[in-house]
Structure 1
Amino acid sequence: MSPSARDAEVPEPTTAERVHSLLSATSSLTVRACGEHHDLESPVSVHDSRLRLRAPLGTPLTTAAAGATEGLAVVLDVTDIAPVAVRDRVRARLTLAGRLHLAHLADDGLSVHLRVDVAHAVLATPYGTGALTADDLALATPDPLARYEAAMLTHLADDHADALAVLTRLLDPDLLAQHPDVRPLALDRHGLVLRLDHPHGHRDVRLVFPEPAADTEDFGHRMHQLLTATQHGLPAHRI
């Protein structure tokens, strides 16, 4: 169960949106094919249910793909790691199955563009597991903050610890009884997730924005609204 799943009214990204966002923000993944694991440093773009990535020319992976006229059966693994240092930094593990095809030679002449036709995917988080089909992925869009999330969370943790302390006023006091270390764990257009870390474990809490953030500038306005809410004792969180 997610930090906000106990309250059906709390908005949060769907599984397909989370997958799309994770893919759009990642720069590394592992491709499993022909009994081998191939680690790639590559940005990923999503077009409908097709992924675009690149790999060095002449590797065992690209050689195998070149010989597979119907596409090479592959499994892709992507790990979502929190950019801020917290206990249990793995936020999600994504597994996608599909067929890999060579697209075309890259402009540098040293790498090749690849296309993966996704068949299905599974996203596993500490709160549960969600599955989706190629159609689900094709209909989803990435969160507008996904590409900037790591930088914004790091900035919040490093430069605005005072703001995090203020935001805890929105929480149930019982959650703060053990004086947890409060760190920003994740964010999306719907809100900010805080990790409450104490010696015996941790708990994640979602602070919900009054309205979804459309972009990074809008995110600043939504954060200001949350901070303002603390002055009036307004309930702005769900667990």
Structure 2
Amino acid sequence: MTLATTPGPTTAERIRSACMRAQSALIALDGAEPETVGVHHLLADGSFAVAVPINGVAAGNVVAAGAGGVQAVLELTDYAPLPLREPVRSLVWIRGRMFSVPEAMMRATLDVVAAEDPNPALLQVGTEYALLRLEIDSVVVADATGAESVALGALLEARPDPFCAMETCWLRHIDSDHRDIVDRLAAKLPRPLRGGQVRPLGLDRYGVRLRVEGDDGDHDVRLPFTRPVDDVTGLSQAIRILMGCPFVNGLRARRTT
């Protein structure tokens, strides 16, 4: 169960964040087994730079196809930061046509990707990986709320959540060392859900998500902040307000006197 009416990121924002966080990515061509992708990065022109095994089927088929390219699907898996019964938070499927990156554009493309995502696998392009480009036809995300597509223009205009890089460490930290925070957030859940095991599921500028693992299944609930936040100071204050921390109210009161 997800409370879909609460404020949260747009579909495009969710996909951009998932693209940045996803540690598991596969490329699939018709009639071939999926292959693991070393690098996946959305470029400003609306295509994906994808590093695939240099001796794999995808690289071989794309080279053989020449200027015509080949149809392919890039699948990104966004896993929950904590070990849960159902660890996958969302799946993103990017369908399109894949081409080789011309040798004359190789260094410039690698520099662009490295500037935003200094993935060590980029150093293996040319030896372990071949760099390809996936021109996007469609993008679909599926999670607990269902499946939804997003237009390429909206995807390019959206930005990843400002906290997606720190989300995993932060949620693991509060789950292992600050269960009091989880317990206070759990007290905000609808009463029928308070009997299950509550674990942190997600964090973004709009609020906190909790996973309740109960006897009747899993339930995801978003606890929204009073307003979106953009920095760590705002995030810390928003969480304290969400918890009902009396210190925040007291601090505000002293500042206004």
1:145 is paired with a residue whose SS is: coil
Provide the residue aligned with 2:77 in structure 1: 79
Provide the residue aligned with 1:64 in structure 2: 61
The offset of 1:215, in angstroms, is 3.5
Do structure 1's residue 171 and structure 2's residue 168 form an aligned pair?
Answer: no
After superposition, the CA RMSD in angstroms is 2.3
- 2:89 aligned to 82, 88, 91, which one? 91
Alpha carbons of 1:41 and 1:155: their partners in 2 closer, same or farther (altered >3 Å)? farther
Do structure 1's residue 188 and structure 2's residue 204 form an aligned pair?
Answer: yes
Deviations 1:101-127 (A, max 9, x none): 222376543122222111111111122
Q: Which has the higher helix share?
A: 2
Letter in 2 for 1:78: L
Preserved CA contact (<8 Å) 1:167 1:230: no
Ranges in structure 2 where 5+ consecutive residues have no aligned partner:
108-121, 249-257
- Structure (1 or 2) with the larger CA radius of gyration: 2
Indicate the percent of aligned positions where both proteins have the same amino acid.
28
Preserved CA contact (<8 Å) 2:37 2:50: no
Q: In 2, Cα distance between the equivalents of 1:16 and 1:88?
A: 23
Ranges in structure 1 where 5+ consecutive residues have no aligned partner:
233-239
The offset of 1:229, in angstroms, is 5.1
- 1:142 aligned to 153, 160, 172, which one? 160
TM-score by length of 1: 0.84
Provide the residue aligned with 1:119 in structure 2: 137
The offset of 1:56, in angstroms, is 2.9
Do structure 1's residue 40 and structure 2's residue 36 form an aligned pair?
Answer: yes
The offset of 1:208, in angstroms, is 0.9
Q: Which has the higher strand share?
A: 1
Preserved CA contact (<8 Å) 1:170 1:230: no
Alpha carbons of 1:30 and 1:101: their partners in 2 closer, same or farther (altered >3 Å)? same
Provide the residue aligned with 2:237 in structure 1: 221
**Runs (4+) off by over 6 Å:** none
Q: In 1, Cα distance between the equivalents of 2:240 and 2:35?
A: 41
Deviations 1:31-70 (A, max 9, x none): 1114113332424222242212312323221121112212
The offset of 1:230, in angstroms, is 7.6
TM-score by length of 2: 0.79
Q: In 2, Cα distance between the equivalents of 1:152 and 1:55?
A: 31
Preserved CA contact (<8 Å) 2:27 2:37: no
Aligned pair count reads 226
